[in-house]
Amino acid sequence: MAELGKIKLITIGDLERKLGSTRFLRFVEECEQGFKAQVQEIADYVLAHQDISFVFLSGPTSSGKTTFSTLFSRNLTENGKRTHLISMDDYYSTKSPIYDEQGRPDYESIDALDLELLHDDLQSLEKMQTVNIPTFDFKSRSRILEEHKIINPQPGDTYMIEGLHGLSDELRKDLAKERLVGIFIMPYASLLADNRMLDHVDMRILRRLSRDVFHRGATALSTIDFWPMIAKAEKEFVPIYLKSADFYVNSALEYEYSVIVPKAREQLKISINQYMEGELPPSNNVKAGIFYADLNLAIKQAKRLIRVCNKIPRVDPIVVPPDSILQEFV
């Protein structure tokens, strides 16, 4: 059973003392090495237990699951254990999503997935049968089968399954327990001044809105507006999946406060200005025909985050290494 362990605490003063090109780059390296050490520890465990074939990774949104999976799989492959990545995002149900009362689509609950199909595919892999992993097209809500995603199992292969519900008992119930290992990943840190300013949930909100703005064409306010749907699902599954994991990975990198936060702050300000000028685009996180689920609440939360973020020193994101977990968000 995994546990969160001790929370990472950092202050504005800590960040200010790290400023200066040489000092901050050393700070970045220390943070990155600390994260990679966690990756290495679990990879060493899997390599030492050759009977392990399935690695299940779970964690809430914006925890760095995708980058962790890539780094972890690369580590195993480079050490002679061929590893296949399987994203649960490719196993969304082709049915129309369910919406909450305010028009937010439910992509977070386990019911949004075709768990039966993924379960059957994993069973086939365990039996050394060929499987064509689908690619989910969100626009058409259909699955595409591509030749390059065909897996022809070989003895000793490892399969890394990552997703919000990667530690679901329903998914793993028929696989041999001695062949499984479970990992839970989540940033667990707080930025402090006189009292707590940004907790680990705030940090994931800022990570998420940065990613959504730059990679998904969203507005900062639309991400905040959608967050209640995310929070509802996480309240249900985070304690359960953490408890069922064999390992916990803290994906908080202390230097990210000076890199992610200022970028997110600018996007929050842009959204607020667009609203004030009557130019705010509709949210892409609600049912067609609805502007925002709860725009007043989203604006209130955005203004709170802006007030906090204004106090944090800014560092150019160029300091983020190419293989960093933060690349998902910058």
Task: Give 73-127 as a DSSP string.
Answer: HHHHHHTT--EEEEEGGGGB-SSPPPB-TTS-B--SSGGGB-HHHHHHHHHHHHT
CATH fold of 8-328 reads Rossmann fold (3.40.50)
Contact criterion met (CB below 8 Å) for 53 and 157: yes
Dihedral sign for Cα atoms in the order 248, 254, 255, 261: positive
Measured at the CA of 10, the angle between CA 8 and CA 19, to 5 degrees, comes to 135
Average pLDDT estimate for 284-303? 94
What single-letter amino acid sits at 68? F
pLDDT value at position 194?
63
Task: Go through 55-86 and write b for each residue having 16 or more CB atoms within 10 A of its CB, e for each that does not.
Answer: bbbbbbbbbbbbbbbbbbbebbeeeebebbbb
Residue 193 has pLDDT above 80, yes or no: no
Taking only the tens place, the pLDDT of each residue in 125-164 is 999 999 999 999 887 889 999 999 999 999 999 999 999 9
Confidence of residue 2 (pLDDT cuts 50, 70, 90): confident
Within 13 Å and on the Cβ side, how many CA atoms surround 70?
9
Residue 195's pLDDT is 66
| Residue 316 three-state SS | coil
Question: What band does 274 get if pLDDT is binned at 50, 70 and 90?
Answer: very high
Cα torsion through 119, 122, 123, 127, rounded to 10:
170
CB 34 within 8 A of CB 204: no
Stated pTM of the model: 0.94
Residue type (1 letter), 323: D
Q: Dihedral sign, CA of 158, 159, 164, 170?
A: negative
Pairing of strands 158-162, 54-58: parallel
